[in-house]
Structure 1
Amino acid sequence: MGKLRPGKVEWLALGHTGRPTLRPLQNLLLLWTLLNCGLGGSAQGPGEWTPWGSWSRCSSSCGRGLSVRSRRCFWFPGGEPCWGDSHEYRLCPLPDCPLGAIPFRDLQCALYNGHPVLGTQKTYQWVPFYGAPNQCDLNCLAEGHAFYHSFGRVLDGTPCSPGTQGLCVAGRCLSAGCDGLLGSDAREDHCGRCGGTNESCLLVQRVFRDSGAFAGYWNVTLIPEGARHIRVAHRSRNHLALIGGDGRYVLNGNWAVSPPGTYEAAGTRVVYTRAAGPEETLSAAGPTSQDLLLQVLLQEPNPGIAFEFWLPRERYGPFQAQAQAVGWFLRQQQPREVEPQAPELPAAPAPSAPRTPTPAPDPCGRCPDTRGRAHRLLYYCRGDFVFRARVLSRLHQGQETRYEVQVQLIYKNRSPLRALEYVWALGRCPCPRLDLHREYLLAVQRLISPDGTQDRLLLPHMGYARAWSPAEDSRVRLAARHCPV
């Protein structure tokens, strides 16, 4: 930054002869000095700065430029000069330069095109040369020749070199701190505060060691809005997965492995790396503009997933509550399965006379009728989730039936629901029974196993499952008003 120059110093002489003429501001400064130091006393300590002047116009109209402001020092002979700098430089907020705009350094070299240099009458066309020792000198290469010439310093505000953030000021390459001042060492802390000391945020740092009982997607942690300096790493054949605030996968979703690279998510860039060995990492500077959900696609036992991020203090409490509400484990779709169907047989010759086929008897029989206002109120008020869904598939697993459903409208939920969910029912012939490809209004409960390895949506026996209709929609909305608070 600009240092004190002799031409910027004003001496205040107290003698009766040779006294300079003082402007009103200098008179005020002299009076203030005399009153504070005592009439007739000698000056002690450093000189005094005038207030900062206004910022100058920007050195550029686009891209990166700087503006400058200055101040003057007043001090007494024999005393110490002012401490600090006489000039400050700051970056200008400017729009990007249009495509094809000539860079600032190129313009400065071009000023010498066609002019004799080097003591001869020869002229050259000049372009910037970046191989010289001082990058803030105007080093220009003669086109078509193997030499360059230095024309002195570049103008203040010239980029030091392509692709860098530094700007040349008084022959020096300076970078801006987070306060926008060139040459400043001010830096953002982990909380995003310029010059802070990390006192306004907390570090969340944990290792997720739980291992699911089956292959599939499992929740690792919620990364809440406002998180910064996100880091995730593990070493295994498992894959990290990330879900955005809109419920869609950012990477490694739907059983497909994404390529390494940079992904946009929640207002920040997520860098995903996968080395040749069994190591994966995620990193993002943040801050995130919405919640992210970190998952792991388990293919083998989980050896541990280390994650950390910085979170504003005021958001740490809500984060803990959200993490408990979401739960560490996710009811996530497995490879989509459907009920096995018998293989098709070759078509038999057409009979001479049509016969009416006899329908096969339903092995499950009919479920008892459970309609009624009291039944609807009971399960709506007791249920953890009430939603409208379309049945996509049905699968018998042991003594249970698993329905894969597409959630279309949520009336009540104690924790977030995804677009695709599994709903479990007891028995191979559960009641109520859900038909494929039909839409239902369901009231289900959340069931977490004692060891925490399973988190399910359970449709109770003889519970609430009604085929959707506009009339049923009105009834379920009315039921919400009669539940006890």
Structure 2
Amino acid sequence: MELDSGSSWSPWQSWSPCSRTCGGGAATRIRRCLIRHPLTNPCSGEQRQYKVCAVEDCLSGAVDFRQLQCAAYNHRPILQMRAARFEWVPFYGASSPCELSCLAKGQNFYYNFGRVLDGTKCEAGSNGVCINGQCLAVGCGQILGSQEEEDVCGVCGGQNNTCQRYRSVFITPHLTPGSLEYNEVTMIPAGATYIKVTDNSSNYLALQNRDYNYIINGNWAINWPGTYNVAGTKVHYRRSADHEESLEAIGPTKEDLHLMVLSMEQNSGIDYEYWLPNDRYWLYHGERSALQGTHHTVIEAAHSFTLTPRIEANTIPVTTTTISVRRPLAQPCYNTASRRQDWSQRNRLPAPSRPGNCGKCQRVRGKSNRIRQYCEKDFVLHVKIISKRTVGSETRYDARVVTTYKKRFAVLRREFLWVPNICDCPRLFTMREYVVMALRHVNYEQTLNRILLEADSFIRTYRPREDKLMKGLDKECEKQGYQLRVNSPG
């Protein structure tokens, strides 16, 4: 008669309290093997699990946990030493890292007091933790001794199928001899893991946080190589004497990061890659055509000025020079359709052609049109156009919002402006600033929510006097009987 396999594990019980309140301790939980037949084999696997807990650093001046255990024997008699009394400090040279080996102060011997308490680090600077006298490595999900590993997506025991790899090459534009330029290479979205950037030139990689504040190599001052705490992860910055330079981080990042390069010469390309969760990958890169590959648009420098670099602590100053600066900022794409991946990408896009049946664009002028559209439109914005591309039968401008004169809905610092044609009507040029009046467009299926520029939208090249012309237009709208809605926050 074939016996029932008849054994299974019960659910795990709750975790026990942590053995420490700071500095790293251990908690345990157990489960029971439920045997339904006396002749069945026992359950396979561990009955008890340990995990690290309370990993936050203790307050400044707190005593080391192993040192605290040694100090508990201070001035206590040791029988084998004829009741001699000593003060004890940790000794790390013993054969077993999980034995409480303590050195007698002022003496040349140590004594073994038995096992250390659970949760004690095996060695100074080690991530191993002692449990029942055994040194267990911190494994997947903070579980001690776990054989499973996190995949590149950060999933314990995963198969690298919940995220996707994005990889590209950035080439600096043509440089003016004797100048230094900060160019933005890319925006690395929040949630990125296994970030790796490499360069082999006389240029310097730089990094900004989401607020565009420099963290590494900013303001024309070069930091020393080392490890930097950035966006909830550690970024390892390396630079060798032969100009090989890299930035690496395991992640996941908690905020967007802007990868920059301080360009001193034309380079052969900056290689960069990172992994994003599937939903965020398609949000940022999903609209790229498999035929066209994945690309980044390089935009030439917009203006230049002379600056004496500021010298900061722990930095290497860069020579005074004429600086040419541009800051194109990456922004998510909102087409989440699934497409075949193509990693052989470069960073230039072909210019789209204008169809022959476009005709002449309508130009909207005059004070009356300015007031009417200001009152009727949902958004009145001062924007700087960063890039332009054709998406299907529409044109999409990537714009930085400089000033918000009017908004009926929340506006981000960075927005896409959509034009429902590819006829350059209205026509906007990259790296120029405009005042635009636009509508909010939400389609019937509620899948689109965007800022729409119509062919007859009021567009003006921005000049400082535009700020004055916008003042008082709310009152003009009230005089003409327009009912203004309250602006949304954002």
TM range (shorter): 0.5 to 0.7
Partner of 2:487: none
Quote the Cα distance in structure 2 between the aligned partners of 1:250 and 1:477: 45
Task: Quote how far apart the aligned CAs of 1:264 are.
Answer: 4.7
TM superposition shift of 1:300: 1.8
The normalised TM-score by structure 1 is 0.61
**Structure 1 CA distance, aligned partners of 2:159 and 2:406?**
43
TM-score normalised by L of structure 2? 0.60
Aligned to 2:118: 156
Structure 1 partner of 2:422 = none
1:59 counterpart = 2:19: yes
Judging changes above 3 Å, is the alpha-carbon distance between structure 1 residues 467 and 311 closer, same or farther for their aligned structure 2 residues?
A: same
Q: Does 1:241 align with 2:206?
A: yes
Query: 1:131 matched to which residue of 2?
Result: 93
For residue 472 of structure 1, what is the aligned residue in structure 2? 470
Distance of 1:178 and 1:458 partners within structure 2: 50
* Pair 1:456-2:431 in alignment: yes
Counterpart of 1:292 in structure 2: which amino acid?
L
Distance 1:329 1:264, change over 3 A: farther
Q: Deviations over 1:324-350 (max 9, x none)?
A: 99943264542349xxxxxxxxxxxxx
Identity of aligned residues (%): 39
Summarize the alignment of residues 85-234 of structure 1 with structure 2, pairs less than 5 Å apart.
85-93=46-54, 96-113=57-74, 114-118=76-80, 120-209=82-171, 211-212=173-174, 214=176, 216-234=181-199
User: For residues 377-396 of structure 1, what are the structure 2 equivalents within 5 Å?
Assistant: 387=382
| 1:166 and 1:174 in contact (8 A); partners too | yes
Q: Which whole-Å CA distance do the structure 2 matches of 1:81 and 1:463 have between them?
A: 78
| Unmatched tracts of structure 2, length 5 or more | 289-293, 308-364, 385-399, 416-425, 436-459, 483-490
Shift of 1:172: 0.6
Alpha-carbon distance, 1:94 to partner: 6.0
Change (3 A) 1:89 1:465: closer
Q: For residues 209-358 of structure 1, what are the structure 2 equivalents within 5 Å?
A: 209=171, 211-212=173-174, 214=176, 216-320=181-285, 327-329=297-299, 331-336=301-306
CA distance in 2, matches of 1:218, 1:415: 23
Deviation at 1:206, TM superposition (A): 1.6
Contact kept, 8 Å, 2:18 with 2:54, in 1: the verdict is no
| Shift in Å, 1:89 | 1.9
Instruction: Sort the Cα spacing of 1:249 and 1:325 in 2 relative to 1 into closer, same or farther, 3 A.
Output: farther
Q: Which amino acid aligns with 1:92?
A: C
What secondary structure sits across from 1:456 in the alignment? Answer: coil
Query: In structure 2, do the counterparts of structure 1 residues 57 and 225 end up closer, same or farther at CA, with 3 Å as the change threshold?
Result: closer
Q: Give the Cα–Cα distance (whole angstroms) in 1 for the partners of residues 261 and 170 of structure 2.
A: 10
Q: In structure 2, what residue type is equivalent to 1:277?
A: D
What do residues 347-379 of structure 1 show as CA deviations (whole Å, max 9, x unaligned)? xxxxxxxxxxxxxxxxxxxxxxx9643478899
Offset from partner CA, 1:34-74 (integer Å, 9 cap, x none)? xxxxxxx7966576656655543332233222223345557
Give, in angstroms, the shift of residue 200 of structure 1: 1.1
Aligned-pair distance for 1:150? 1.8
Compare 80-89 and 297-306 and name the one that shifted more.
80-89
Q: Return closer, same or farther for 1:409/1:193 CA change in 2, 3 Å cut-off.
A: same
RMSD value over aligned CA atoms? 4.6
The 2-side partners of 1:248 and 1:74 are apart by 58
Larger radius of gyration: 1
Structure 1: which 5+ residue stretches go unaligned? 1-40, 338-369, 390-405, 419-443, 448-454
Counterpart secondary structure, 1:301: coil
SS at match of 1:335: strand
What are the superposed Cα offsets for residues 402-426 of structure 1, whole Å, 9 maximum, x if unpaired?
Answer: xxxx9962459999789xxxxxxxx
For residue 324 of structure 2, what is the aligned residue in structure 1? none
Give the 3-state SS of the residue equivalent to 1:118 in structure 2. helix
